[in-house]
Structure 1
Amino acid sequence: MKAGLYVGEKTVQSALIDKPIPGEGEALIRVAYAGICGTDMMVFSGKHPRAKAPLVMGHEFSGIIESIADHVSFKPGDRVTVEPYLTCGRCAACRAGQYHVCATLKCIGIDKNGGFSEYVAVPVDRLHHLPDNVSDDEAALVEPLAIAVHTVRRSNLKVGDSVAILGAGPIGLLIGLVAKQAGASEIFISDISPFRLQFAKELGFICVNAKETNIKEVVLARTDGIGADVVFEVAGTQSTAKQMVECIKFQGTIVVVSVYKQAPVVDLAAMHFREISLTTTRCANSNDFATAIQFMEKKLIDVRPLISHRLPIEQIKQGFGYMENTEISMKVLFHL
């Protein structure tokens, strides 16, 4: 079968590999679209601690069930998207129903071959039906939208709250769209990429070019010096670790979405004196996926404007090249 293969640091190529044989409890999915995300870029750069070449990346994908053992809910021909998380089912988190923070959490496309291929074998209990009015390319963004849903839920955002988002990549923009659905009154977003800020502007957010202006100044000016009720840190830099504390209101909530490569310096004393809450978020659970699909089905959130490129898998090198340049890309999808 056709696949896009990670073969070493900064090196991907189109290849022919063996079609997977699904094991017990797995279904074989014929992939329609698969998207590149930040984690794939970490693998591509050779910096992911678990991913080893050769590997078929891709954990954001949609497709059709090619084959499946007898099942009450799914059958061959069903259109689906997939929760890509591989869990142990035995640790305390799994037993508590919080499998998305499994003690040994693994992921399709990182720990086993993923969606940058014509076929992929996935656990049946990670499948989600797709409504007829959700297209295959939209459905490849269900997983990042589910992460945004989970992130906003972790923030306990309330109707009327003001929100600051540090980072205008796909996840930052999706968080903004979900926050709007949750009742945010105004949404500030900062980034260093004019291209990505233009996306944010078209979505109705208050945009700040971080190369020119500190988002702290804009947020404080618009909130009478009080600060935002909720801050989402989605850039993973030392400067945004500083800004997240500067932008937040007394007794506000900061949600760290980024996975930091190096431990940042955070002003805990400044947080202490204003009783700031700090929380984190990892990925998403089944309820978050269901909500993301519902948002798409009811046309409450349109993810299509975020898709900047649709490429055949044979152009995997070009796709990763586009993703390295934030002035020309947002979400790159491969079609199989």
Structure 2
Amino acid sequence: MNPNVPKGRGTGNRPANVFEKSKLVKEFPEGIDAIDAETGPLTEFLPVESKSVLSFNDSPDIPFSYSINPYQGCEHGCVYCYARTSHQYWGYDAGLGFESKILIKKDCIGLLRKTFEKKTYRPSPIVLSGNTDCYQPAERKFKLTAAILELCLEFGHPVSIITKNSLIDRDRETIRALAERKLIHVYFSINHLDSRLKQVMEPRTATSEKKLDLIRKFSALGIPCGIMVAPIIPGINLEAMPQLIQQAGAAGARKAGYTVIRLNGPLKELFQDWLETHFPDRKNKVMHQIESLHGGQSNDTQWGRRMKGEGALAQSISNLFRASVNKYMDPQRTMPEFDFTQFKRNGQLNLFNP
């Protein structure tokens, strides 16, 4: 274990913010400087104000238009997380700062209510969350996700959740009520079945066993569940995909999807350091395979390719995924269509503008 990685964190590094002209550097002259990461920083929860609550997406390779992110930054500590780069816009680093400086959008509930009440608003599925996990540890204290779900139930608005945290079980009654009205889809992000890998790659997420148990419990309650095998990291978790899909299908999952890893901005530095710490014998091979998926580079912004990759390895991953889904998931179990006629504005059913 790298001594510079605090317990329960994905990284101890603080890569320079690309938007900052200066950066903090420690030279450790004469060995007298202390290493902050040895003890690790306490998490700071920082309230912020939002101009708008819904984030609009027009990327053709993302299957939703609107998302809500009640939190920015994430204590889960997933070393590969693409959301790390966005933390730089707030003036923080994409490494340890992303995991320890959590921005809380306390005004998001009021803004969402006002949005739903606008005469010009037309309901469209909202994803919780498109960036950072809506059930990360901060949710236990601030309960913004719970309030958003209750608001969606009040207005009859469709919502989709994706999470890596078992805290979602706290809100199962609200989620079940939404499911009864065909207003919710729940996806669990599961990309491995190895608890030891979880401890170093996704330190503060729920174990795969807990998430599979929740799929089983939610499915029994009539809550439609799916899984996202994301991200797939060749040489690290690819081989687990068939067994993972098999177990998810047996638990009641109705749908599966996947993405491959991409390392934009400072993620490459963070991930290479992580490989050097935990899988030094595989470092070069894993990086070469990642680059082969993305046109010879680890970063990728090209629509389509950035999510699934291209080339021989990408085709092999696609084939393995399709074969696993065809073999282990019941084609008769599908995600129900959202019922937009449930939407009401100011307490009135919106029958004429679904």
The structure carrying a bigger strand percent of its residues is 1
Q: Where on the TM-score scale, by shorter chain, does this alignment land: which range?
A: under 0.3
Query: Who wins on radius of gyration, i.e. which is larger?
Result: 2
The structure carrying a bigger helix percent of its residues is 2
